[in-house]
Amino acid sequence: MTDPLSTWNDGPAKEAIRDYVARTGEVGAPGSVPVEERVAVFDNDGTLWCEKPMPIQLDFILRRLAAMAEADPALRDRQPWRAAHERDYPWLAHALAAHYAGDSTDVRTLATGIVAAFGNITVDEFEADADAFLRGTAHPSLDRGYLACGYAPMVQLLAHLRDQGFTNYIASGGGRDFMRPVSAEMYGIPREGVIGSAVALAYVPGDGGGAITRSLAADYLDDGPEKPVRIWTRTGRRPVLAAGNSNGDIEMLDFSQHADRPFLRLLVLHDDPDREFAYVAGAERALDRAAQSGWTVVSMKDDWATVF
């Protein structure tokens, strides 16, 4: 029989997944879970695809901010346009690291630029730009296009869960509308299964049925405690399986706990500098919680036979 998790090395993580799926899918068994309740949620950046040296969407946004600063010199003295124009990646890295450490001051500044970068355009125009970027841009150091930066073991896990009656969702701090154009192709998750951060939208009447336009205001950042809220809003259920890789995923993994049925929580550890990257910044609290709460830590180095 073909191994549905062939890209995973034998070990505790693979065994935990296999045991969990077998127990929950055995009809009539004490641990069985009704199909309609087999909801699995996955972070995206660093869990389903590569997030270093910067999140893929951040690269997309920085290119736009740099172009705006090139066209309007007045923007070059304001963050985050200054960082984009000067390619000040340490400022950006610090903003993200500080956010996961509990200080979101610079991330709020970054969010202002993110909203402005693609404001006052239709959702169709934004999707076309995102789709073209994802299909036409190469990762800066991995010698592969961004669409080839999905983690093979996680894609295989999604397929295995789907075959066993699970419904998979993405629950990401990244932009919902940025991921939607490629979610089905990369992960087998339809666009309606993507939960992510969003800007406020407005309907504008007009010829051809009108249009939905992106405003210059954020709607919500799907990170930390906002993740369980958005998961519940979208699915109406508490997931039984959750996977993440950072401090921003703690609440989502906590939310997957049940008193009356089995659940599984996976935390991806980036510890493979040869095939991807090695880092724990932004995941320190999550790793502590994994040790305290019995989450299954997935070592990229030890548990994955291949990465991409």
Interval 151-171 mean pLDDT: 98
Look at residue 81 and give its three-state secondary structure: helix
Residue 135 in this model has a pLDDT that exceeds 90: yes
The pLDDT value given to residue 134: 98
- In this structure, is the dihedral angle defined by the CA atoms of residues 13, 269, 227 and 150, taken in order, positive or negative? negative
Residue 28 has pLDDT above 80, yes or no: no
Over residues 150-171, mean pLDDT:
98
**How many other C-beta atoms lie within 10 A of the C-beta of residue 58?**
23
**For the chain, what are the domain ranges?**
12-50+147-303, 56-117
Q: Mean pLDDT, to the nearest integer, of 112-119?
A: 90
Q: Is the pLDDT of residue 278 over 80?
A: yes
User: Mind listing the pLDDT tens digit for each residue in 56-73?
Assistant: 999 999 999 999 999 999
pLDDT value, residue 104: 86
pLDDT (mean) for 117-139: 97
Do 120 and 213 form a contact (C-beta atoms < 8 A)? yes
Give the pLDDT confidence score for residue 283 in this predicted structure: 96
Residue 43's nearest CA partner among 288, 220, 228, 295 is: 228
Q: Which of 135, 181, 173, 176 is nearest to 250 (CA)?
A: 173
Please identify which residue in the block is written with the tokens 């901010």: 65
- If you average pLDDT over residues 149-160, what whole number do you get? 98
> Could you name the CATH architecture of 12-50+147-303?
3-Layer(aba) Sandwich (3.40)
Computed over every residue of the chain, the mean pLDDT equals 95
Bond before 53 cis per omega within 30 degrees: yes
Cα separation of 1 and 95, whole Å? 48
Neighbours of 184 (CB within 10 A): 14
Whether the Cβ atoms of residue 73 and residue 95 lie closer than 8 Å to each other: no
Q: How far is CA 147 from the centre of its chain?
A: 14
Least confident of 22-26, 35-39, 66-70: 22-26
* pLDDT beyond 90 at 129: yes
Q: What is the pLDDT of residue 99?
A: 84
Q: Is the pLDDT of residue 26 over 80?
A: no
pLDDT at 71: 96
Q: Measured at the alpha carbon of residue 215, what is the angle toward residues 214 and 218, in degrees to the nearest 5?
A: 100
Residue 216: both structure tokens together: 């210059």
Q: What are the start-end ranges of the E strands in the chain?
A: 39-42, 167-175, 194-204, 211-220, 241-244, 264-271, 278-279, 296-299
Q: CA 108 to CA 45: how far, in whole Å?
A: 19
What is residue 197's three-state secondary structure?
strand
Query: 294 is written with which tokens?
Result: 């019995």
Q: What is the pLDDT of residues 193-237, one digit of tens each?
A: 999 999 999 999 999 999 999 999 999 999 999 999 999 999 999
Residue 1 has pLDDT above 90, yes or no: no
In the block, tokens 């990762």 appear at 139
What mean pLDDT do residues 163-173 have? 97
- Cα separation, 224 vs 248, whole angstroms: 4
Q: Pull the structure tokens for residue 109.
A: 């500044």
Q: Where residue 93 falls among pLDDT bands split at 50, 70, 90?
A: confident
Residue 114 pLDDT class (50, 70, 90 cuts): confident
